């Protein structure tokens, strides 16, 4: 099924150069027809497909999809709108910042498909690091899996400049142990947005990242 037309890409291209309330209001119907409604349909089908693999996933598109309006209260960038459509598919939706799930972002420049953990408490970070050390061969195997490497390359995240002494030896061989976050993402060309097999293609990324996601999920607690 083709969810999006060329106008989805064109809309965000134009929004990048006209990120003003006047322009958005003049193009509100276009946004509804070319972006909002098809994106909701797309995310609903992604939820269905992931639920087929994980029956514990129970979420609605409304819970998953982020608003296009930016929170500019504490930002130097005062442009009012995001230049992408995005959603997080995990129980709790966009209010769940910890549990590993799937984050999808579509823009005029392409698709970003994320997995892993973006935000943790201090105790959860300690648990993840300890689990990596205790299961370092398994972690390295997941990290170097051919499909994972091809689609995501590696684990990403900001790093602490100082780490607890207990992890310093491991840090020499595995610098990732210093990470504050453990997330990964793949980039996909914008042409794929118009594809009739978009969800099937993204499910390949889902399955490529699933083993690492499960490892990190188990490590949190």
Q: How confident is the model at residue 32 (pLDDT cuts 50, 70, 90)?
A: very high
Q: Is the Cβ–Cβ distance between 99 and 89 less than 8 Å?
A: no
**DSSP helix/strand/coil, 165:** helix
| pLDDT tops 90 at residue 201 | yes
**13-22, 32-41, 96-105: range with lowest mean pLDDT:** 96-105
Whether the full predicted model's pTM is greater than 0.75, yes or no, is yes
| pLDDT tops 90 at residue 143 | yes
| pLDDT tops 90 at residue 78 | no
Q: Is the Cβ–Cβ distance between 134 and 128 less than 8 Å?
A: no
| pLDDT tops 90 at residue 152 | yes
pLDDT of residue 96: 75
Q: How far is CA 200 from CA 45, 138, 189, 191, in A?
A: 10, 28, 15, 15
pLDDT of residue 92: 86
pLDDT tens for each residue of 179-199? 999 999 999 999 999 999 999
Rounded-to-10 torsion of CA 108, 113, 116, 121:
20
pLDDT of residue 75: 80
pLDDT of residue 154: 96
Question: Rounded distance, CA 54 to CA 15, Å?
Answer: 36
- CB atoms inside a 10 Å sphere around CB 92: 15
pLDDT of residue 12: 98
Share of the chain above pLDDT 90, in %: 88
Average pLDDT, the chain: 95
pLDDT of residue 93: 87
pLDDT of residue 99: 80
Domains of the chain: 6-219 (3.30.930)
- CB atoms inside a 10 Å sphere around CB 15: 23
| pLDDT tops 90 at residue 158 | yes
| pLDDT tops 90 at residue 74 | no
Higher pLDDT, 98 or 162: 162
pLDDT of residue 29: 97
Which residues face 111 on adjacent strands? 106, 188
- Helix H or strand E encompassing 11: helix 6-17
């Amino acid at each position: 099924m083709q969810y999006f037309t060329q106008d989805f890409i064109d809309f965000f291209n134009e929004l990048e150069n006209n990120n003003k309330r006047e322009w958005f209001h003049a193009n509100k119907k276009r946004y509804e027809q070319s972006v909002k409604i098809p994106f909701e349909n797309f995310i609903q089908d992604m939820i269905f497909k992931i639920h087929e693999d994980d029956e514990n996933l129970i979420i609605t598109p409304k819970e998953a999809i982020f608003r296009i309006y930016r929170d500019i209260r504490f930002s130097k960038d005062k442009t009012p709108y995001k230049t992408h459509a995005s959603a997080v598919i995990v129980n709790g939706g966009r209010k769940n910042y910890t549990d590993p799930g799937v984050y999808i972002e579509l823009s005029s420049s392409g698709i970003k498909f994320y997995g892993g953990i973006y935000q943790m408490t201090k105790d959860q970070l300690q648990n993840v690091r300890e689990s990596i050390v205790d299961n370092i061969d398994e972690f390295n195997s997941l990290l170097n899996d051919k499909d994972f490497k091809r689609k995501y390359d590696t684990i990403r995240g900001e790093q602490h400049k100082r780490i607890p002494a207990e992890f310093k030896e491991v840090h020499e061989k595995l610098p990732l142990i210093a990470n504050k976050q453990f997330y990964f993402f793949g980039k996909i060309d914008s042409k794929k947005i118009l594809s009739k097999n978009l969800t099937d293609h993204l499910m390949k990324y889902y399955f490529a990242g699933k083993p690492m996601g499960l490892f990190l999920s188990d490590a949190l607690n």
